[in-house]
């Protein structure tokens, strides 16, 4: 290997990266000392930071000894969680100490042996291999896949580095698996990707409708906010399964999987027929209502009950509840977003809120709940499929704007959009993308149709995995592994579901030579030879200031947030928070602590009006048949399990709170027909693969349906790689399978 492309010189600041922790910085402020950490912080004190698992964004209090966190507890006065946390939050320190943490870069040689190397060597290899691919095959031969679980400053750096510095074009993230549908739906309907709500709306509605959301398991602290609602609300859950949330609801609509769109269109028809249209709002604040009203006429009660399997009286009660509601809020998550016609389904929810005028007022809204701690950050600032702060790569004035703010030549900004995740994977399969950089996501477990995906990965000439652990499924394929510091070992900001920007802090030292993603990106810029473009990108706090400038005069303007200290003092601040507001209002005081959008009836399209968007139904890509008679649903398993388990499985407490093995949920009648009981072993086959699981007989699933949690790597061997046409989000929640009893093992 030659060293001609990068000088074998470590920048002097490299030493400092593995350096001091937040708490110690108070004693030794300096360039990296970020003297801006709150002065109340002492080595044996407490400090507040936002949880790094789900998008609720709870505030956690870290209890420090000698500047090092020894315990966590929920923060009492944080406006999100009000003193509560779920098991993952309580246990968030444990995974940091796991023995399989990546502590040094690892390189695989031609024979497949993996050996530790130092950062200098790793960065030489990184630069050399990617540059060679670019030289030989052009800018479309490399790509990255990133995460909604790293800080906004980090994802922004990655997007800028890859596209403006390294000259790559294609990058996407696991936010595609999760929030792409909400992003596209909002952008088309409202003119900007803007979830309108604040968590206070959970407490202020008199009717809450949850579509494809298992809040009790996936967002347990949001559910606690629902429980604080003093208005004796109707809580309606639309989910094929009788989930924990459905059991706690006042109405459960156990619809047939993927019949949501028919139900929502039909509901619009009934509400219009009952005269429950907010005519003034529709006339003043929306466009396309007449066409929509005509379109939904075909979704009669018979059509709806036939498609959804709902009884006529249950459907009538649902419509009636919405019609009578004074403050109706609609909430949706993956049961909507992960479908073959998901964008239109999300927009059908938006349409209901628009036509009834349930938006922009307390206790209302068409509210998409995010998934990962910083999925909202990646939607706005990853610079992957959209240019910074909701800008568009295809728009010349947007490019000029961004170039001017960033002080980079405009020619550095690509004039085309990135490919979406599935298209990147296709290009790898075709051999056109030869080098892939995977950061903070574990697609060998979580991507849809996993066997085909993993075959595809094997065809790569160069795969870099940047992760906190060496044992992830994806890391097993890596040619180069870059060891990342995890949540709690670095600082930056996350944006939660209600648009609240909150602080992540360094309360623990990263193990070995692991570095914060931010510093890995900074080093790569140096070794690549493009550090001159990023002279101002010296620290997360400095990048926060740059992002502020990028946000100016956009709907997500947060120029009124001074710095990290301000965020910390305020308990997080929701965007928008422009300078003008900051000058006249205090972000830390009610009512500014909890704000919703659209209270003036103006949306972000140039004419200020929201759009009614709809389409005819699309056929399901795979239906159950004689050979594969069951519908397979997938999703979260328990509050204690996080995605691919790389983190939560490192805590014995969390492991004990989840099932010990993969369980498939089967309806009692189906189990009888199959001759299986709880604990029996079965094979589950789809057209893609066969896997084994233990049976859990339960009436939470309907007859003809089975459920598997996504936390076991086997689940995605079965799923069918199908994507919504508008958002290109994978349809994880529907495919056809067969279940066969296995002979009992002899003891
Ligand atoms: N404990 C825990 N919490 C998490 C996560 C985790 O891994 N573990 N992950 C976080 C992330 S990234 C996300 S995106 C969220 C996900 O949060 P949720 O979306 O609430 O979780 P899921 O279980 O994926 O899906 C929700 C429900 O959709 C239902 N569903 C399936 N098909 C349909 C359908 O056709 N229509 C309807 N209406 N419903 C359907 C499923 O039965 C399931 O109960 O959770 C976040 N919170
Ligand atoms: N069948 C099925 N599949 C699904 C879903 C489903 O409902 N059903 N849900 C989908 C959804 S909504 C999502 S969001 C995805 C999630 O899928 P993934 O993103 O693949 O899941 P995670 O386990 O969260 O992976 C995060 C990775 O980042 C690493 N990591 C953690 N912190 C850091 C850090 O600070 N820096 C770096 N560099 N690495 C870090 C972790 O160790 C882990 O390997 O799964 C999707 N897959
Ligand atoms: S609800 Fe989400 S943000 Fe809150 S403690 Fe649990 S995982 Fe963390
Ligand atoms: Mo997600």
CATH number at residue 674: 2.40.40.20
Share of the chain above pLDDT 90, in %: 91
User: How far apart, in whole angstroms, are the C-alpha atoms of residue 179 and residue 116?
Assistant: 36
Residue 472 Cα to ligand 3 middle (Å): 22
Whole-number pLDDT of residue 481: 98
Which ligand sits closest to the CA of 520? 2
Dihedral sign from CA coordinates of 545, 550, 553, 556: negative
- Decide if 323 is inside a domain: yes
Is residue 122 within a helix (H) or strand (E), and if so which, with residue range? helix 119-137
Residues 655, 649: contact at Cβ < 8 Å? yes
CATH number at residue 351: 3.40.228.10
Q: Which residues contact 177 (CB under 8 A, 6 or more apart)?
A: 338, 421, 446, 447, 448, 729, 730, 732
User: pLDDT tens for residues 554-594?
Assistant: 999 999 999 999 999 999 999 999 999 888 888 777 777 88
User: How far apart, in whole angstroms, are the C-alpha atoms of residue 335 and residue 53?
Assistant: 20
Whole-number pLDDT of residue 292: 98
Q: Which residues contact 574 (CB under 8 A, 6 or more apart)?
A: 198, 498, 499, 500, 501, 594, 595
User: How far apart, in whole angstroms, are the C-alpha atoms of residue 701 and residue 685?
Assistant: 18
Whole-number pLDDT of residue 429: 98
Residue 135 Cα to ligand 2 middle (Å): 32
Mean pLDDT of 173-193: 98
Whole-number pLDDT of residue 581: 86
Closest CA to 406 of 539, 522, 519, 551: 551
Site of tokens 């990962």:
372
Kindly give the number of the ligand 3 atom that is closest to the alpha carbon of 60: 5
Whole-number pLDDT of residue 747: 56
Closest CA to 246 of 210, 273, 272: 210
The phi, psi pair for 334, rounded to 5°, reads -75, -20
DSSP labels for 650-713? G-HHHHHHS-SS-EEEE-HHHHHHHT--TT-EEEEE-SS-EEEEEEEE-TTSPTTEEEEETTST
Whole-number pLDDT of residue 66: 87
Residue 666 Cα to ligand 2 middle (Å): 26
Average pLDDT in the chain: 94
Site of tokens 């990184």:
126
Whether residue 240 has its Cβ less than 6 Å from ligand 1 = yes
What's the domain count of the chain?
2
- Largest Cα span, the chain: 75
User: How far apart, in whole angstroms, are the C-alpha atoms of residue 220 and residue 74?
Assistant: 13
Angle subtended at Cα 156 by Cα 150 and Cα 162, rounded to the nearest 5 degrees: 105
Of all protein residues, the one whose alpha carbon is nearest to atom 13 of ligand 1 is 371
Whole-number pLDDT of residue 9: 44
Whole-number pLDDT of residue 149: 98
Whole-number pLDDT of residue 36: 34
Whether residue 53 has its Cβ less than 6 Å from ligand 3 = yes
Closest CA to 696 of 671, 672, 663: 663
User: Could you tell me which residues are beta bridge partners of residue 79?
Assistant: none
Site of tokens 């992540």:
504
Out of 36-45, 231-240, 349-358, least confident range? 36-45
Residues 661, 678: contact at Cβ < 8 Å? no
Site of tokens 């990646």:
378
Structure tokens at 669: 């009648």
Contacts by residues 356-359 (CB-CB < 8 Å, ≥ 24 positions apart):
356/271, 356/276, 356/277, 356/278, 356/322, 356/325, 356/328, 357/278, 357/280, 357/281, 357/282, 358/325, 358/327, 358/328, 358/329, 358/330, 359/196, 359/598, 359/610
DSSP state letter for 469: B
The torsion angle over the Cα atoms of residues 213, 216, 218 and 224, rounded to 10 degrees, is 110
Whole-number pLDDT of residue 746: 61
Angle subtended at Cα 319 by Cα 314 and Cα 324, rounded to the nearest 5 degrees: 125
| Residue 663: domain span | 630-741
Residues 285, 603: contact at Cβ < 8 Å? yes
Judging by beta carbons within 10 Å of its beta carbon (0-12, 13-18, 19+), is residue 416 exposed, middle or buried? Answer: exposed
Q: Which residues contact 438 (CB under 8 A, 6 or more apart)?
A: 144, 145, 146, 463, 464, 465, 466, 467, 474, 478
Mean pLDDT of 309-336: 98
Q: Which residues line ligand 2 (CB under 6 A)?
A: 147, 149-150, 174, 177-178, 334, 338, 371-372, 439-443, 445-446, 466-469, 472, 484, 486-487, 517, 634-635, 643-644, 646-647, 710, 715-716, 719, 732
Q: Which of 51, 52, 54, 649 to mutate to test the pocket of ligand 1 (most atoms within 8 A of CB)?
A: 54
Mean pLDDT of 112-127: 97
User: How far apart, in whole angstroms, are the C-alpha atoms of residue 398 and residue 419?
Assistant: 19
Residues 556, 390: contact at Cβ < 8 Å? yes
- Decide if 198 is inside a domain: yes
Last residue of a domain, one of 315, 333, 368: 368
- Decide if 145 is inside a domain: no
Kindly give the number of the ligand 2 atom that is closest to the alpha carbon of 486: 35
CB atoms within 10 A of CB 280: 10
Mean pLDDT of 21-49: 49
Site of tokens 């609240």:
500
User: pLDDT tens for residues 142-174?
Assistant: 999 999 999 999 999 999 999 999 999 999 999
Is residue 262 within a helix (H) or strand (E), and if so which, with residue range? helix 260-273
Structure tokens at 468: 């906190």
Residue 744 scores a pLDDT above 90: no
Does this model's pTM top 0.75? My answer is yes
Residue 644 Cα to ligand 2 middle (Å): 6
Quote helix, strand, coil % in the chain, to nearest 5.
Answer: 35, 20, 45
Share of the chain above pLDDT 70, in %: 94
Categorize the per-residue pLDDT at 41 as very low, low, confident or very high, splitting at 50, 70 and 90.
Answer: low
Whole-number pLDDT of residue 52: 98
User: pLDDT tens for residues 555-566?
Assistant: 999 999 999 999
- Decide if 600 is inside a domain: no
Of all protein residues, the one whose alpha carbon is nearest to atom 10 of ligand 2 is 177
Last residue of a domain, one of 316, 351, 368: 368
User: pLDDT tens for residues 478-501?
Assistant: 999 999 999 999 999 999 999 999
- Decide if 603 is inside a domain: no
User: pLDDT tens for residues 283-318?
Assistant: 999 999 999 999 999 999 999 999 999 999 999 999
Closest CA to 256 of 207, 313, 316, 303: 303
User: How far apart, in whole angstroms, are the C-alpha atoms of residue 162 and residue 435?
Assistant: 13
- Decide if 535 is inside a domain: no
Residue 208 scores a pLDDT above 50: yes
Structure tokens at 580: 């003008």
- Decide if 128 is inside a domain: no
Dihedral sign from CA coordinates of 128, 130, 136, 138: negative
Whether residue 178 has its Cβ less than 6 Å from ligand 1 = yes
User: How far apart, in whole angstroms, are the C-alpha atoms of residue 613 and residue 292?
Assistant: 8
Categorize the per-residue pLDDT at 44 as very low, low, confident or very high, splitting at 50, 70 and 90.
Answer: confident
Residue 247 Cα to ligand 3 middle (Å): 21
User: How far apart, in whole angstroms, are the C-alpha atoms of residue 579 and residue 554?
Assistant: 12
Helices (H) and strands (E) in the chain, counts: 29, 26
Q: Which of 92, 174, 178 to mutate to test the pocket of ligand 2 (most atoms within 8 A of CB)?
A: 174
480 CB-side CA count, 13 A: 24
DSSP state letter for 358: -
Residue 705 scores a pLDDT above 90: yes
Last residue of a domain, one of 316, 341, 368: 368
- Decide if 17 is inside a domain: no
Q: Which of 332, 636, 715 to mutate to test the pocket of ligand 1 (most atoms within 8 A of CB)?
A: 636
User: pLDDT tens for residues 609-640?
Assistant: 999 999 999 999 999 999 999 999 999 999 99
Residue 15 scores a pLDDT above 50: no
Residue 21 scores a pLDDT above 60: no
Judging by beta carbons within 10 Å of its beta carbon (0-12, 13-18, 19+), is residue 295 exposed, middle or buried? Answer: middle
């Amino acid at each position: 290997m030659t060293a001609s492309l990068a000088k074998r010189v470590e920048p002097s600041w490299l030493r400092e990266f593995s350096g001091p922790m937040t708490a110690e910085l108070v004693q030794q402020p300096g360039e990296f000392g970020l003297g801006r950490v709150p002065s109340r912080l002492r080595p044996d004190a407490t400090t507040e930071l936002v949880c790094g698992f789900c998008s609720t964004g709870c505030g956690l209090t870290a209890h420090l000894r000698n500047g090092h966190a020894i315990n966590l507890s929920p923060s009492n006065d944080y406006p999100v969680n009000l003193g509560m946390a779920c098991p993952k939050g309580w246990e968030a320190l444990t995974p940091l100490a796991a023995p399989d943490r990546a502590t040094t870069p690892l390189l695989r040689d031609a024979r497949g042996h993996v050996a530790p190397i130092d950062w200098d060597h790793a960065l030489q290899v990184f630069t050399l291999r990617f540059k060679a691919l670019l030289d030989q095959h052009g800018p479309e031969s490399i790509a990255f896949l990133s995460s909604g679980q790293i800080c906004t400053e980090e994802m922004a750096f990655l997007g800028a580095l890859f596209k403006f510095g390294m000259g790559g074009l294609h990058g996407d993230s696991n936010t595609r698996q999760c929030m792409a549908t909400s992003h596209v739906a909002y952008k088309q309907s409202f003119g900007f990707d803007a979830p309108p709500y604040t968590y206070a709306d959970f407490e202020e509605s008199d009717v809450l409708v949850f579509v494809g959301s298992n809040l009790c398991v996936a967002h347990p602290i949001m559910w606690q906010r629902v429980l604080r609602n003093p208005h004796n609300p109707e809580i309606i859950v639309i989910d094929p399964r009788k989930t924990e949330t459905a059991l706690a609801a006042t109405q459960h609509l156990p619809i047939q999987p993927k019949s949501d769109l028919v139900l929502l269109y039909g509901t619009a028809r009934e509400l219009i027929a009952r005269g429950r249209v907010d005519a003034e709002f529709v006339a003043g604040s929306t466009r396309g209502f007449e066409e929509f009203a005509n379109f939904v006429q075909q979704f009669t009660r018979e059509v709806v009950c036939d498609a959804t399997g709902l009884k006529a009286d249950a459907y009538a009660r649902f419509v009636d509840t919405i019609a009578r509601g004074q403050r109706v809020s609609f909430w949706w998550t993956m049961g909507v977003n992960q479908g073959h016609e998901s964008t239109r389904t999300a927009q059908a929810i938006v349409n209901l809120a628009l036509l009834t005028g349930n938006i922009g007022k307390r206790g209302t809204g068409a509210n998409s709940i995010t998934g990962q701690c910083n999925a909202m950050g990646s939607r706005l600032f990853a610079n992957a499929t959209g240019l910074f702060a909701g800008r568009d790569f295809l728009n010349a004035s947007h490019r000029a704007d961004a170039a001017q703010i960033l002080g980079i030549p405009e020619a550095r900004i690509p004039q085309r959009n990135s490919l979406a995740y599935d298209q990147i994977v296709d290009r790898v399969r075709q051999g056109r993308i030869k080098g892939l950089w995977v950061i903070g996501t574990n697609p060998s477990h979580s991507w849809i149709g996993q066997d085909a995906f993993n075959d595809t990965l094997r065809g790569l000439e160069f795969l870099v995995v940047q992760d906190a652990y060496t044992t992830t499924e994806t890391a097993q394929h890596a040619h180069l592994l870059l060891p990342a510091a995890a949540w709690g070992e670095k600082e930056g900001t996350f944006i939660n579901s209600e648009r609240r920007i909150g602080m992540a802090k360094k309360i623990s030292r990263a193990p070995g030579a692991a570095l914060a993603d931010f510093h890995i990106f900074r080093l790569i810029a140096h070794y690549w030879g493009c550090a001159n473009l990023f002279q101002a990108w010296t620290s997360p706090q400095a990048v926060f200031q740059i992002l502020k400038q990028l946000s100016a005069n956009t709907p997500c303007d947060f120029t009124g947030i001074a710095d990290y200290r301000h965020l910390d003092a305020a308990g997080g601040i929701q965007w928008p928070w422009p300078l003008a507001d900051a000058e006249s209002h205090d972000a830390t005081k009610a009512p500014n602590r909890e704000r919703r959008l659209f209270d003036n009836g103006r949306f972000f399209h140039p004419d200020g009006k929201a759009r009614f968007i709809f389409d005819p139904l699309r056929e399901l890509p795979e239906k159950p048949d004689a050979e594969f008679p069951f519908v397979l649903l997938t999703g979260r398993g328990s509050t204690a399990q996080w995605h691919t388990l790389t983190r939560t499985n490192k805590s014995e407490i969390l492991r004990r709170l989840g099932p010990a093995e993969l369980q498939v949920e089967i309806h009692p009648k189906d189990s009888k027909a199959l001759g299986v009981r709880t604990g029996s072993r079965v094979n589950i086959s789809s057209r893609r693969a066969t896997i084994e699981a233990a049976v859990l007989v339960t009436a939470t699933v309907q007859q003809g349906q089975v459920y598997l949690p996504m936390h076991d790597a086997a689940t995605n061997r079965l799923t069918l790689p199908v994507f919504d046409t508008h958002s290109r989000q994978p349809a994880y929640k529907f495919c056809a399978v067969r279940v066969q009893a296995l002979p009992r093992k002899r003891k």
